[in-house]
Structure 1
Amino acid sequence: MYKIILASGSPRRKEILEQVGVKFTVLSSDKEEIITKEKPEEIVKELACVKARDIADKVEGKAIIIGADTMVAIDGQVLGKPKNEVDARAMLQMLQGNRHQVYTGVSVIIKSDVKRDEFNAAEDIIISFTEKTEVWVYPMKRKQIDKYIATGEPFDKAGAYGIQGKFAVNIEKIEGDYYNIVGFPIAKLYTRLYEEGIDILNNGEEQ
């Protein structure tokens, strides 16, 4: 039996795990995010790994530590969380009437209590992957963009929007995992861990 730890303070990731019935605790990483990669799909995986490793080094015993990072990209340009209204407006103006990509990197560190080497230390299992979803946004007028910004919803979200919130009326279509856009590709996480013999829906019980 493993304890499951989410190394992220994201309320959306927390909600997704709760929605499917995973029992977990949150230990948010405060490690400085230093980016050495250039491609969005590599950046999110790198940041997810940093979060997971930071928490893994602080916990003892059998544990599954889950790190994740999400970002939006359009024409190769990465869009993080907007700093202010001007920033949010610029991002939404880029996205409206266009297709963009949402990337989520996930890094899972499985800490075992099985001793595997001559130093009597356990060897961690590390699972890392990136999920990509294509998103098309309907054309929006300035008035629509301003009204959405006024809700306050864009400011804690990559790309300045949340598909699960008020921005849903502006989404034309998606291609890929919906939950990846929200911030957590839960189906892929569940499947990859189950392939390792761990059922996170059953308190991290080994199969």
Structure 2
Amino acid sequence: MTRRLGSGSLVIATHNPGKLKEIGALLEPYGLKCISAGSLGLPEPAETGYSFVENALIKARAAAEASGIVALADDSGLAVDALGGRPGVYTADWAERQWFEGDPGRDWYMAMGKVEGMLAAQGPETSRDAAFHCVLAIAWPDGEHAVYEGSIAGSLTWPPRGTLGFGYDPVFIPQGHRQTFAEIDPAVKYRIGHRADAFAKLVADQFG
């Protein structure tokens, strides 16, 4: 049987206030008070893993060891069948500008264009199947851990459509839908998405 979370504090291994708010709202009904690694001044570890599971565990373990509190981390991204699962763990990296491109921030249109260009180079009959994946990892300070994986299948379209999402959302059409993630109401997206899938498995295991 998987070790279970008790009530009390849980460190969310992120420096992103938006992610803390989203995960905190999901866990609030279970008596957990979520605090971010950023608010504790914890450093962000290098994500050197070769899979979503490895990177989620790196972040969760680093936060748990540094804080002495149970920690939760997530790692997620887009995997395109015809590209051998890329961008995968490098989903965000594909949006990073180089120093000579000016603004060092992320350019998601550039990232979407890179995926489209690689697919187009393979010809018009190339599969456009893809999936978003999410891994949630819980780590206890003594080293024990639990992992929950979620995904949603779909296909890619071009050009990008919609303004409600972020990242690769404007080119991803979830299976069974006609709209992209950036055209679908965010409340619906959160309910059917990869993070919701992983979170449902976490809740069933930890609180079921």
The TM-score with structure 2 as length reference comes to: 0.60
Specify the code of the residue in structure 2 equivalent to 1:25.
I
Query: Which AA in structure 1 matches 2:71?
Result: I
Change in Cα spacing, 1:44 to 1:14, as seen in structure 2 (3 Å) is: farther
Partner deviation per Cα, 1:98-118 (whole Å, 9 max, x = no partner): 32111112210134xxxxxxx
Aligned residue in 2 for 1:87: 111
Shift of the 23–92 alpha-carbon distance from structure 1 to 2, 3 Å rule, reads farther
The one-letter code matched in structure 2 to 1:77 is G
Q: Report what 2:11 is aligned to.
A: 5
Change (3 A) 1:125 1:181: closer
SS in 2 for 1:4: strand
Map 1:148-187 to 2 at 5 A.
Answer: 154=166, 157=167, 160-161=168-169, 167-169=181-183, 178-180=192-194, 185-187=198-200
Counterpart CA distance in 2 for 1:4 and 1:56 is: 9
CA shift digits 1:8-64 (9 cap, x unpaired): 2342463143145353111145111113x3xxxxx000000000111111113xx32
Contact 2:164 2:183 in 1 (8 A): no
Structure 1 residue matching 2:67: 3-state secondary structure: coil
CA distance in 2, matches of 1:108, 1:30: 16
For 2:53, the aligned partner's letter is K
In the alignment, structure 1 residue 192 sits paired with structure 2 residue 205: yes
- What SS does the corresponding residue of 1:57 show, helix, strand or coil? helix
Task: Give the structure 2 partner of residue 202 of structure 1.
Answer: none
Letter in 1 for 2:146: I
- Which fold has the larger relative contact order, with Cα–Cα distance below 8 Å and residues 6 or more apart in sequence? 1
Aligned to 2:136: 106
Q: 1:32 aligns with which of 46, 58, 61?
A: 46
- 1:170: how far off? 7.5
Percent of residue pairs bearing the same amino acid type: 14
Structure 1: tracts of 5 or more residues without a match:
38-42, 112-122, 172-176, 196-207
**Which letter does structure 1 place at the counterpart of 2:67?**
V
Tell me how far apart the structure 1 counterparts of residues 147 and 19 of structure 2 sit (CA, whole Å): 20
> CA 1:6–1:181 in structure 2 vs 1: closer, same or farther (change >3 Å)?
closer
Deviates more, 1:72-81 or 1:7-16: 7-16
Greater strand fraction, Structure 1 or Structure 2: 1
Question: Aligned residue for 1:52?
Answer: 60
* In 2, Cα distance between equivalents of 1:152 and 1:179: 14
Contact 2:135 2:198 in 1 (8 A): no
1:65 and 1:57, CA in 2 relative to 1: closer, same or farther beyond 3 A? same
Q: 5+ residue gaps in structure 2?
A: 1-6, 97-106, 121-126, 173-179, 186-190
